Amino acid sequence: MISTKMSDALNKHMNLELYSAHLYLSMASCANNLGLKGAANWFTVQYREEMTHFFKFYGYLTEQGETVSLTASKAVPNSYATLLEMFEKTLAHEQLITKCINSLSEQAVQEKDHATQIFLQWFVTEQIEEENNDRDLIAKLKMVGDNGYGILMVDSEMGQRVFVP
């Protein structure tokens, strides 16, 4: 059993995870339009990861006897000039998610809600990896700049990413 305040906050965040999924699926489509099939693969894998994040919140709330509320997800942007721009927006979004996870964790500590603290631990660790991946790709993209060959090399590396359930 969790508090109504905690349940509402987790439900709100669950919807934000769904927004993340839509954001990256849209970026996959934009990357594809730029001719960057590897980046399109990377963002599609990211979309699938975000859906697992969404389902972790859904599952936790359900196991705690709560009924989830799916609030209509906001429309996501679908126009980016470059891959670098996509990654800068991705990093900014992940930093927002990290803040939200931290604030949920603080609330769980304040409420002495041990179950939710343990549930959120996985996300605290996951956010370190998410931000780190984005920073690495931004560094590589800045290094290659406008060099088409360099961008294709990064794109090809992004094509190797596989979804690990």
Residues in region 50-69 near ligand OFO by CB under 6 A? 50, 53
**Residue 91 or 154 with smaller CB distance to ligand OFO:** 91
Q: Can residue 113 be called a binding residue for ligand OFO (CB under 6 A)?
A: no
94 is in an annotated binding site: yes
Does residue 13 interact with ligand OFO by CB under 6 A? Answer: no
> Residue 50 annotated as binding?
yes
Give the separation between CA 73 and CA 162, rounded to whole angstroms: 26
Both tokens assigned to 40: 């399109």
Q: Minimum CB separation from ligand OFO for residue 82, in Å?
A: 21
Is the sign of the CA dihedral 29, 30, 36, 39 positive or negative? negative
Decide: is 130 part of the binding site for ligand OFO (CB under 6 A). Answer: yes
Q: How far is the CB of 150 from ligand OFO (least distance, A)?
A: 26
Alpha-carbon separation of residue 80 from 41, 121, 157 (angstroms): 17, 33, 20
List Cα–Cα distances, 149 to 39, 141, 145, 154, in angstroms: 15, 11, 10, 9
Instruction: Figure out which of the listed residues 94, 113, 134, 155 binds ligand OFO, where binding follows CB under 6 A.
Output: 94
CA dihedral 50, 94, 17, 8 (to 10 degrees): 150
Whether the Cβ atoms of residue 134 and residue 93 lie closer than 8 Å to each other:
no
Please state the closest distance from residue 55 (CB atom) to ligand OFO, in A.
Answer: 11
Decide whether 17 or 113 has the Cβ nearer to ligand OFO.
17
What is the distance between the alpha carbons of residues 36 and 58, in angstroms, rounded to a whole number?
A: 33
Binding test (CB under 6 A) with ligand OFO, winner from 7, 15, 20, 26: 20
Residue 2: half-sphere exposure toward Cβ, Cα within 13 Å: 27
Q: Is 110 annotated as a binding residue?
A: no
Applying CB under 6 A, which residues contact ligand OFO? 17, 20, 50, 53, 94, 97, 130
Indicate the annotated binding residues for Fe cation: 17, 50, 53, 94, 127
